[in-house]
Structures are given as structure tokens and as C-alpha cells.
A and B are shown apart, each in its own frame.
Chain A
């Protein structure tokens, strides 16, 4: 459906995005995750054909989209909802009707279709309200309803539920999923909430400083490497972590959740790092459990349900998190 190849984007000579390939297939749901400034919004703007990439190709249905005219045509099929979406002056209904009128929808069909789009997000009661009277969360939901009213083939959401509470987030993603059940809509959403990303996506692309990272961006820490080669002891908040690195200065550490071993007692093992803490959260992720531990720093470990049961871990349980220094990725 929509594919990006060899995408490189620079601002004022600085490379802010370098992604070899991203593909959005009909019916798929890709989550973009990463910290602020990791390039998620830039990638979405490029995928939305709002600006051409510095280098690389964007293909829609296998055909390259290069010229301004081709981008204009492509935007009729790919719609982006920004993190802070803009609603035009006027009523909510007029906003949702905007893309319908652009597409030459017969006047008699505009209002019913706009109302149906709002109804999908349980927003019918807002139809007559002025856009500027809405809360931030309502604006986000109306913006997603407006985007879907255009019946795009690809829907791009940039932190589209960031201002919503948990129930509203659920309603928003459920409505998008409902639309996908009806037609082969491709969805790509950026989120800094990993639980949200895992829950609503069937593929995940983690970005860090504009490039894909081979690990999910959990347990990411910005640190100052003391310098030297081989093993270095690095201060991460109140704790010290042994890592393998051959340079000094600012760096980012990533500890893959699947590399963390949980135990009730400190392990006598080859793992150089063993942090004691308490379980603060448990969440299901496919067949595994994501265990969030407060060990002075927040760590996420991935374990099986069986291991969790055998250890008898619950929220509040004391636990030790062990991982090898070679398992820590240094960027």
C-alpha cells in the first residue's frame, strides 16, 4: 500500500531521519515508538506527503510519488492527524464535513456521513458545538473522526490519544480497529506509551535519534560514560550499571527487556548487574508478561506467565533484576 525506501531527511544540514524501509500494508497497524525527538513525527509527515524527503522514495501501490502533483493526489488517500490537531473555525460538523466537500460528496450525503463519522467516536452530541469550545481530548477525537470521514486508505496518527484519559484512548483505538474490520485501512500511529503501542499494533518500529533501533526503546537511559575501553561503570540515576563501551561522553543505554532475569534473591551468576527493587506494574503482552520494576530506576522485564507464577510475583513483591553488561546496548 504505502512504502518508504531509503528515507533520509535533513533539517539545516542535520540528518533527523534515516530509515531504510517502512511498509504499511492494507489492514496493518504499525506503531512507531521512541522518545521525544526520535523522528516519529518527521516520519509521519513524510509518509503523509506533507513534505518531500531529502533522499529516498515513497511508493503508493508500488508507484513512486515524486512530483508535487503526485503528492497532492496521494494526500487524498493518506491522512495524518497531528499530535495537536487543528480544527477550523466553525462547528464540529462543519469540520468533519470539510474533507467530504473537498471530495465532491453530494450535498445531501455530507451531513449524514459527517454525523456517522462522529457517531463512531461517540461524539454526535458535539456536532453543533463550535470547535474552539472543545477540550484538547475532544479536539483529538474529532480530528480522528474527520480524518476517517475522508475514508483514507492510510491513516497516520501522531500521538493522537495523548490528551485523552485511558477510557477515551481505548474508545479511540477501538473505533479505528472497528473501521479496519470493515475495510482494509492501513494505520500507523506514533506513541510514547509502550503499553498503548503493544496493545493496538501488530508491528512495531522503534526509533532513536531518527534511526530504527533493534530493541524496543524500553529501558532507555541517557548517561555520561566515564570513558576508557572495555567495561565501564555508569551512573544511571541513583544506581550504577556495568556496560561494555570503548568511548566516553554522553550516550544512551538500552537494556532489552527480554535480557533481564528476575529472581527473588540476588543471583550468584555471571551477570554483572543485579538491581533490587519492587514490582510496580504487570501487563500482558501476547503470551508474555511485562513486569515493571522500581529499582531506583524503572526497568521493564519480559517473562513468561509460568515464570511469573512460579516466582509468585505480584504488584509490590520484592524482586531482583539481573542482566549481563554485554546485554546493555550503548548508542
Chain B
């Protein structure tokens, strides 16, 4: 294996690590929050949905800038020493993916037939078992939310560049590497990295499709 291939493998591994950790964290927050938002009626819910939908379209470089300012040496979280490390990229990606996971989960739960909840309740289910029954019926839409969040995190470049710094061997992800290779005129490397990125996204989607096929979606 040549040094270039080893570097590409390292970049791919880091991209996957960042994407998986950020997706798990974002969905850990966003899916329950979206579930609550989709199944509860309260005053101010509509306003919250407007904020959420605005967050979906928030420019990633602005998120990157905010995290940069927070984590910079003189920022409020500067003492953590996270700036230009991969966890810093994870933090930024989580902030970007939480609104997606939340909005899609809320939409998934809202789309579930209202009879599901009533049926679970009348058969004796408590709040948790009822929520589980609703989640089971919405599982494919919820899974789609996870996949979209993963795709968002994997393909993001602006925030990763700002808070990660695109440091070789440390914070260089597939997207920041593509940006760098392109700016340096190394188009063959940029295309190769782009294909790796595409291959990863395709693999995840095929896995989800296979899962849905097996469970009778």
C-alpha cells in the first residue's frame, strides 16, 4: 500500500468516525425530541417548529464560526482545548444534524395513524410501551431521518474546515480533503476522494434498503 492510499484510508476512517459519532449523538438528542414534538400538543409548538425549520437551512459556515468562537483559546470553552481536533468537528456536525433528526422524527411521528396510539393504550400499554408502538409503526420514516442526518454529517465541509482546520493526519476529512485537492489542482485525487464519499453514502443507503426489505416495509 502506497503512502497516498494509506493517507486516503486514514482520511476515510476519520470521516466515518466523525460521521458515526456525530450521527449517533445528533439522533440521540433529535429523535426523542422530535418524537415528543410530533406527539404532543402545547402552546408555542408552532413557533418551535418554525425555529427548527429555520435551523435546517442554517449556513454550515456560520455554525462553524460559532463553534470556532466558543472553542477558540479566548472563547468560553477555550479551556477544553478542542479547537482543531476531530471532537470539535463532531460538535459542529451534531449542531447541524440535530435539527434534521428532530424535524424528520417529528414529521415521522405526526404521520403515524392516530389509531396506533389509541390501540396501544386500550390494550393496556403505558406511556413508554405506547411510544414504542408508535415508533415501531414509524420505524422506516425514523430510519430515513437517521440516514439523512448521516448524509448531512458525512458531506459537510464548511464547519469541518473552520473548526477542524483540515490538519493532515488529524482533522482532514473526505470533504475537506476534496476541497484542498481541488484548490491545489489535484483533480484526480479530488475525484477519487469524491468517489469514496459517494461509495460510503451508497453503502449506507443500500444497507437501509436491505433492512427495510427484510422487515417487510
Which of A80, A88, A103 meets B122, CB within 8 Å? Answer: A80
Q: How far is the CB of A42 from chain B (nearest CB, A)?
A: 13
Within 8 A of A (CB), among B117-132: 118-127, 129
B115 touches A150 (CB 8 A): no
B118 touches A89 (CB 8 A): no
The docked-state distance in angstroms from the alpha carbon of A102 to that of B121 is: 11
Which of A72, A84, A88, A150 meets B126, CB within 8 Å? Answer: A72
Q: How far is the CB of B211 from chain A (nearest CB, A)?
A: 14
Q: Assess whether B179 is interfacial by the CB under 8 Å rule.
A: no
B136 touches A50 (CB 8 A): no
Contact A98/B115 with A89-B136, A130-B216 known, Cβ cut-off 8 Å: no
As a 0/1 sequence over residues 50 to 83 of chain A, the CB contacts with chain B under 8 angstroms (1 = contact) are 1000000000000000000000100110111010
Which A residues fall within an 8 A CB radius of B? 48, 50, 72, 75-76, 78-80, 82, 84-86, 88-89, 98-99, 102-103, 130, 146-147, 150
Q: How far is the CB of A130 from chain B (nearest CB, A)?
A: 6
As a 0/1 sequence over residues 108 to 120 of chain B, the CB contacts with chain A under 8 angstroms (1 = contact) are 0000010110111
The docked-state distance in angstroms from the alpha carbon of A99 to that of B122 is: 9
Chain B interface size, as a band, is 10 to 19
B-side contacts of A79, CB under 8 Å: 122-124
A-side contacts of B125, CB under 8 Å: 102
Contact A50/B124 with A82-B115, A85-B115, A88-B136 known, Cβ cut-off 8 Å: no
Quick one: which of A84, A98, A146 has the most chain B CB within 10 A? A98
Q: Is the contact region of chain B dominated by helix, strand, or loop, or is it mixed?
A: helix
What are 9 A-B pairs at a CB distance below 8 A?
Answer: A75-B121, A79-B124, A80-B118, A85-B119, A86-B118, A88-B137, A98-B120, A99-B123, A150-B124
Within 8 A of A (CB), among B86-141: 113, 115-116, 118-127, 129, 133, 136-137
Q: How far is the CB of B192 from chain A (nearest CB, A)?
A: 42
B114 nearest in chain A by CB position:
A86
B-side contacts of A48, CB under 8 Å: 122
Which of B113, B124, B126, B136 meets A99, CB within 8 Å? Answer: B124
The docked-state distance in angstroms from the alpha carbon of A102 to that of B116 is: 15
The docked-state distance in angstroms from the alpha carbon of A86 to that of B121 is: 12
B123 touches A89 (CB 8 A): no
The docked-state distance in angstroms from the alpha carbon of A73 to that of B130 is: 14
Which of B118, B124, B127, B137 meets A82, CB within 8 Å? Answer: B118
A89 touches B121 (CB 8 A): no
Give 3 nearest A-B pairs by CB, closest first: A86-B115, A99-B123, A76-B124
The docked-state distance in angstroms from the alpha carbon of A198 to that of B51 is: 56
A-side contacts of B122, CB under 8 Å: 48, 50, 75, 78-80, 147
A102 touches B123 (CB 8 A): yes
B216 touches A86 (CB 8 A): no
Q: How far is the CB of A61 from chain B (nearest CB, A)?
A: 17
Q: How far is the CB of B86 from chain A (nearest CB, A)?
A: 39
B-side contacts of A50, CB under 8 Å: 118, 121-122
The docked-state distance in angstroms from the alpha carbon of A150 to that of B127 is: 18
B123 touches A86 (CB 8 A): no
Which of B116, B121, B127, B216 meets A88, CB within 8 Å? Answer: B116
B-side contacts of A89, CB under 8 Å: 136-137, 216
B129 touches A86 (CB 8 A): no
